Structure 1
Amino acid sequence: METKVILDTLWVLITAMLVFFMNLGFAMVESGFNRAKNCVNILSKNFIVFAVSSLGFLVLGWGLMFGDGSPFIGLKGLFFLNGADNSPAVGDAYKGVYSAISWTGVPLLAKFFFQLVFCGTAATIVSGAVAERIKYKSFIFFSFILAVFIYPIVGHWIWGGGWLSQLGMFDFAGSTVVHSVGGWAALAGIIVLGPRFGKYTKDGKINPIVGHNMSIATIGVFVLWLGWFGFNPGSTMAADPMAISHVLMTTNTAAIAATLSSTIISWIILGKPDLGMTLNGCLAGLVAVTAPCAFVSVGSSLIIGAIGGILVVLAVIGFDRIKIDDPVGALSVHLVNGVFGTLAVGLFAQDKITGVATGNGLFFGGGVKLLSAQVIGILVPGVFVFGLSFLVWSLIKATVGIRVSLQEEIEGLDIGEHGNSAYPEFLTRKPIYSLGVVAEAATPVKVQQSLTQEAR
């Protein structure tokens, strides 16, 4: 096997492992942003979702996404990697059925594993958005359907040689394929589920429900930031020194710009530099640059990241005002900035900046041709994923049920769904619910005051 194939394979597999490691980051961010009484549930969902989505993608999803077929769906090589792809690594001994991904010369199993971890990322985005009130089994059912059908169909349109790629739509590492798909599916789930008990009062007041561990959330974002250096540069699927260096720089530049812009805008609007907004800001910048990272300059990535950081703060506030209860800000990070990142290709792309012929974006003299394709690539997948996800969520609700009981929600999903607690040794705060208003009464200080009064 030639040296280039060996080096390319090592690069693809190492970056795929980094993307897999992002599962830890999501678990930490989501558990930190939610309450202690639901910590085990969040961790368990983030752990099992990778196994469930991997099974679905292995059984059928991969073939639907990359199998040769129509512009709308893969029709060959559907079950358990049934076929070869005619890449240089496998030679001409097999008739290829995955021609859409034959452009990279690494072995078929390396291609599969890299795409598998992307599918797992899309599925885990949903977890945080529907947190603290969804039935464990219902989340598992939906994750499997997302991985086996919903995600692969959109992936085929864009990465599998389907009609959107033929139209001239570009999404280098998945602002739409991964992040918007996960975001649209999450939005449908939130609507079917409804908000958490006590989040909104009848008079329209918004009750903040704060996360229990910002330390672990911060560490989680660092893990995700690191993982993105596999997510974006790894999507070259070849050890091309110039391309991976360029993509790494645009990725990091967008992240730092969004971290700063989200901090500043939250400071202006909220009066304080909110850490949660800063953390989500960093992630927003990473999502926003995921589609255009190989098609724009480092300078453009700075602008894209800065806009993404502002958008996430405004979106978090906006979703709350319209009573869309998203405990971790997943919609603001992945959906809003997935849409913006895809649009950014049509605005900021510079033809062949890393060797890929995209044409120029609107701001670089390319007119609206590329921008129009990007808009279609936002709208059609959005309607498809949201509509199908809403139907699936509704069917799950009508059959096995989708939401835990009110008592279980109040007591916490850790005990009700899993029978254990993340922090069994500590006195946790017990929320009191009265007329839809949340009050924290049993804090350690108040408990101590009560014990002191009784002793007297």
Structure 2
Amino acid sequence: MRKKLIATMVAISLPCFVMAEGQMGEDILSRNDLWVLIAAALVFFMQAGFKVFETGLVKKQHRAGIGAKNLMDWVAGSVAFYILGFGFMFGSSTNGWVGSGLMMGDGLEINDSFVFFLFQLAFAGTALTIVSGAMSGRTALIPYFVASLVTATVIYPLFGHWAWGNLLHADNMPWLASLGFMDFAGSTVVHSVGAWIALVGVWVVGPRVGRYDKNGKIQRIKASDYSYSILGVMILWLGWWGFNGGSTLAFNTQVPKIILNTNLSAAAAAISAMFHAIVFQKKSNVLEKIMGGTLTGLVAITACCNVVSSQSSLIIGVLAGIIHNIMFVVISEKWKLDDPVGAIAVHGFGGVFGTLCVALFGQQELLELPRWEQLAVQCVGIVTCFVFTTLVALLMFYILRRTIGLRVSPKQESTGAFFDSEEEDGEEDQDSTTGSNIVHHVSAKVSNRGYNVYTVKEYVELSMDFRSSWEAADRIQYLNEEGYVIPVESAQKQLNEMVAVMGSHTTSTLKRVRIR
């Protein structure tokens, strides 16, 4: 009886199963699509890796703020890249300079490009989130969100079109790709773009209060939790398997080799960074350099992982770790740029090195051009990326600084709050002075939601109209080296003394400063 019942049920359900299977045959993802979708998920998971890595390297009070910016990077990128950025990057090319079409997802169904869009969206999110760590600890959320929108809409898609604009429409002829520029998974297109925006942002927003003393000597700011950052590196390392492996856009025999090369470069970079820091850099910041070196190895192999051998991947990693350590010191100690997470050294200079490695270490038969011609074209791409990205970023941050301000208030920076609602009129609560009474910074409340911080010299060199409007509205505070507010009377006395010391030309300028 039971056997008859089972046979009857099978007989009834079999036609339905066959019909469903036939329908699925039309709609089911191919193996290639499934792999790219999995890779996209791994790249998206890198957002969590960046958040964990960055929050471990900043002060405890700033962890929530940097986490919020990581989240808003993805929010801004998802919307802006869908509405305009994807079309500018991968739409039908206009003379090789910008794409058109594919706006608001138009045409994605026709081209069956949903998986490709999601993969590229994850890449765009990576470029955006590089900036958050470099500018952490003092950048306000609203101007940062605006900067992320501009990056996802204009900066990343336009340069991306020049290098990758033919990935979706093979008949596109983007000008940089047509020259033979090669950047397999984005050492320049993703990482250097994000790093050069961060470079400009760090320079314009200025260092965290207390990062440098009056003589420009760097002051150590304690990281909140190195173990947290190490976990972030491991998450990023895993995500990079999808970042590089998925850039084949197919699940083919290249994928295992690409992932192996990626892994070897990261491991070799960690080793070289560690020994270089111990032997040649007096054991300073060893843990930061091991982590940063690892990430630099990952960035460097990203452009060339499909054209180099596994042995070359080890060499690239060793060199990447050393390059990271050298630039880590140059950026913070020589250039006086306050990058709390070392993003510029990792993604900027690691990206440049990796892009050059295409020509330096790539197997000739896999290159677009003869080796030395390939090297010249790689240099053209690197310089183009730097010039275009920095110029647009400079304009963007300059406008933001002049209109709404880039920074949080001095108290917000001290407490780690990132919205005014968390400390209404908080600047009046900080009038008690701690530490010295020597003026080191001037904080200006530029708008209701944004601040800028200047050195005394920078403040004096601002136009009189700006200074007068801020001073008349009682929007100026004078800060000591630790970031605490100095009474106006004491600050006024010091500035008057500076006028007497700095000479007649400077005096004529300083006399125009109206102290409250």
Q: Equivalent residue for 1:259?
A: 270
Q: Equivalent residue for 2:154?
A: 149
Q: Equivalent residue for 2:511?
A: none
Taking the TM superposition and a 5 Å limit, the aligned residue runs for 1:322-401 are: 322-352=335-365, 357-359=366-368, 366-401=370-405
Cα gap change, 1:29 to 1:201, in 2 (>3 Å): same
Taking the TM superposition and a 5 Å limit, the aligned residue runs for 1:17-416 are: 17-83=41-107, 107-161=112-166, 162-240=174-252, 242-268=253-279, 269-271=281-283, 274-321=286-333, 322-352=335-365, 357-359=366-368, 366-413=370-417
Which digits, 9 at most, give the CA deviation of each residue in 1:249-284, with x for residues without a partner? 110010000010111111121336711111111100
Distance of 1:233 and 1:432 partners within structure 2: 53
TM-score w.r.t. the length of structure 1 is: 0.84
Match of 2:94, SS state, is: coil
TM-score w.r.t. the length of structure 2 is: 0.74
Match of 1:69, SS state, is: strand
* Structure 1 unaligned regions, length at least 5: 85-89, 97-106, 361-365, 421-430, 440-456
Greater Cα radius of gyration, structure 1 or 2: 2
Q: CA deviation at 1:412?
A: 2.3
Cα gap change, 1:307 to 1:432, in 2 (>3 Å): farther
* Structure 2 unaligned regions, length at least 5: 1-24, 167-173, 425-432, 439-479, 484-516
Q: Tell whether the 8 Å contact from 2:265 to 2:313 is kept in structure 1 after alignment.
A: yes
Which digits, 9 at most, give the CA deviation of each residue in 1:19-45, with x for residues without a partner? 000000000011000001111101111
Distance of 2:235 and 2:374 partners within structure 1: 34
Which digits, 9 at most, give the CA deviation of each residue in 1:149-195, with x for residues without a partner? 11000100000031110000000000001000000100110111011
Q: Equivalent residue for 1:363?
A: none
Match of 1:368, SS state, is: helix
Q: CA deviation at 1:79?
A: 1.3
Distance of 1:146 and 1:201 partners within structure 2: 33
Which digits, 9 at most, give the CA deviation of each residue in 1:25-67, with x for residues without a partner? 0000110000011111011111121011111100000000000
Match of 1:172, SS state, is: coil
Which digits, 9 at most, give the CA deviation of each residue in 1:323-374, with x for residues without a partner? 011010000100010111111112111134xxxx4247xxxxx441000000
Q: CA deviation at 1:121?
A: 0.4
Cα gap change, 1:53 to 1:401, in 2 (>3 Å): same
Cα gap change, 1:209 to 1:359, in 2 (>3 Å): same
Distance of 1:210 and 1:293 partners within structure 2: 36
Distance of 1:6 and 1:308 partners within structure 2: 37
- The residue identity in structure 2 corresponding to 1:44 is A
Distance of 2:292 and 2:74 partners within structure 1: 22
Worse-matched range after superposition: 406-415 or 303-312: 406-415
Distance of 1:339 and 1:232 partners within structure 2: 17
Q: Equivalent residue for 2:458?
A: none
Q: Tell whether the 8 Å contact from 1:12 to 1:238 is kept in structure 2 after alignment.
A: yes
Match of 2:126, SS state, is: helix
Distance of 1:417 and 1:210 partners within structure 2: 27
Q: CA RMSD in A?
A: 2.2
Distance of 1:236 and 1:433 partners within structure 2: 57
Q: Tell whether the 8 Å contact from 1:346 to 1:371 is kept in structure 2 after alignment.
A: yes
Q: Equivalent residue for 2:5?
A: none
Which digits, 9 at most, give the CA deviation of each residue in 1:302-339, with x for residues without a partner? 11111111111111111112201101000010001011
Match of 2:207, SS state, is: coil
Q: Tell whether the 8 Å contact from 1:280 to 1:333 is kept in structure 2 after alignment.
A: yes
Q: Tell whether the 8 Å contact from 1:254 to 1:304 is kept in structure 2 after alignment.
A: yes
Q: CA deviation at 1:388?
A: 0.3
Q: Tell whether the 8 Å contact from 1:61 to 1:78 is kept in structure 2 after alignment.
A: no
Q: CA deviation at 1:201?
A: 1.3
Distance of 2:434 and 2:52 partners within structure 1: 27
Aligned residues: 400
Cα gap change, 1:433 to 1:388, in 2 (>3 Å): farther
Worse-matched range after superposition: 394-403 or 331-340: 394-403
Cα gap change, 1:4 to 1:358, in 2 (>3 Å): farther
- The residue identity in structure 1 corresponding to 2:257 is H
Q: CA deviation at 1:243?
A: 0.4
Distance of 1:174 and 1:127 partners within structure 2: 19
Which digits, 9 at most, give the CA deviation of each residue in 1:224-261, with x for residues without a partner? 00000000010001010x20011001100100000101
Distance of 2:435 and 2:130 partners within structure 1: 29
Cα gap change, 1:304 to 1:432, in 2 (>3 Å): farther
Matched-pair identity in %: 40
- The residue identity in structure 2 corresponding to 1:410 is S
Cα gap change, 1:417 to 1:115, in 2 (>3 Å): farther
Q: CA deviation at 1:401?
A: 1.2
